[in-house]
Amino acid sequence: MFLGSIRQESLCTQKRFISTDKEQKQKKNVNNDTPSSATPAKKPLLSRLPIPIKENIYTIPNALTFSRLIAAPLVGYFILNSQHTLALALFACASITDLVDGYIARKFNQQTVVGTIIDPMADKLLMTVGVVCLAVKSAIPLWLAGIILARDVGLAISAIYYRWISLPPPKTMARYWDFSLPSAEVKPTTISKANTALQVLLLGSAMAMPVIPEAIVASWSLQEAMTGLQYLVASTTAWSGLSYVYSKDAVKILTREEIETRAAAKREAAAKNEKQN
């Protein structure tokens, strides 16, 4: 009896193993018979790349900014050829456009990322041309021109670097110079704004000195005032350069969500303006 019970138990265990093996084989067959379309297909590489969002760069503020880029070499030409009145008049007009384009951009919601880049670029080109030409004509000292130019060169190199690292893939030179593809935003610091105003005052005063009669220059001590303004500009120039280095909010790399949000806000504002008109 004891041996018979052992045999019955062994037969039961064998049946169990056989049944489990059959079940596993059936599951494998079912998995193999499932169509390949049930598995999700991988998307191609190009479809997974982020689609760049473009913005309208053909605005009035940007046109005024480009006018300053054109005016800069003309101002330098007039300075070098001792045409002080023309140089001062064109420099004054260019400085006014710097105020007007910002007002229009804020008032009519025409702010663009490219505007935050080319606006300081146009200012720096105008200032650089003016500083170099005035230094050549000995209207401002060489040491002051060196401080101003060194700061501007450092900022230009930083702008090139941040533009490249913030550009979404694929990184090509064509896309790099396509300013309708926003990637980074530059916010001038408070001291930088004050320094720009003082530099404009310095260059405008240096251009106006030959136009002002010598009697007024002597009686109002304008030459001494120019010397004090030069030291003040040198201090604020060095301070503003350091502010860009240590400020965390001076340069901001835009995310895709931020770009989409700004584009949607601009579309809504444009639709409202069309309805009002």
Distance of CA 125 to the CA centre of its chain: 17
pLDDT at 62 over 80: yes
Q: Which of 41, 53, 184 is nearest to 120 (CA)?
A: 184
What ranges do the domains of the chain cover?
56-265
pLDDT digits (tens, 9 = 90+) for 183-224: 777 777 889 889 989 999 999 999 999 999 989 999 999 999
Tokens at 174, concatenated: 């064509």
* pLDDT confidence band for 4 (50 / 70 / 90): very low
User: How many angstroms separate the CA atoms of 270 and 277, rounded?
Assistant: 11
pLDDT, position 54: 63
pLDDT at 51 over 60: no
pLDDT, position 277: 62
- State the virtual CA torsion across 141, 193, 70, 231 in degrees, nearest 10: -10
Q: Does the reported pTM lie above 0.75?
A: no
Q: How many CA atoms lie less than 13 Å away from 88 in the CB half-sphere?
A: 15
pLDDT, position 211: 92
pLDDT, position 134: 96
CB-count exposure of residue 263 (10 Å: 0-12, 13-18, 19+): middle
pLDDT, position 201: 95
pLDDT, position 35: 47
- Average confidence score pLDDT of the chain: 79
Specify the higher pLDDT residue, 236 or 98: 236
Q: What percent of the chain has pLDDT over 70?
A: 76
pLDDT digits (tens, 9 = 90+) for 219-266: 999 999 999 999 999 999 999 988 887 777 777 777 777 767 766 776
- Mean pLDDT, to the nearest integer, of 72-85? 95
Q: Which of 16-20, 99-103, 132-136, 181-185 has the highest average model confidence (pLDDT)?
A: 132-136
Class of domain 56-265 as given by CATH: mainly alpha
Query: What single-letter amino acid sits at 155?
Result: L
* pLDDT confidence band for 50 (50 / 70 / 90): very low
pLDDT, position 207: 95
pLDDT, position 232: 97
Which of 2-16, 110-124, 178-192 shows the lowest mean pLDDT across its residues? Answer: 2-16
User: How many angstroms separate the CA atoms of 139 and 131, rounded?
Assistant: 9
Tokens at 154, concatenated: 């450092």
pLDDT digits (tens, 9 = 90+) for 122-165: 888 999 999 999 999 999 999 999 999 999 888 888 878 878 87
pLDDT, position 37: 46
pLDDT, position 121: 81
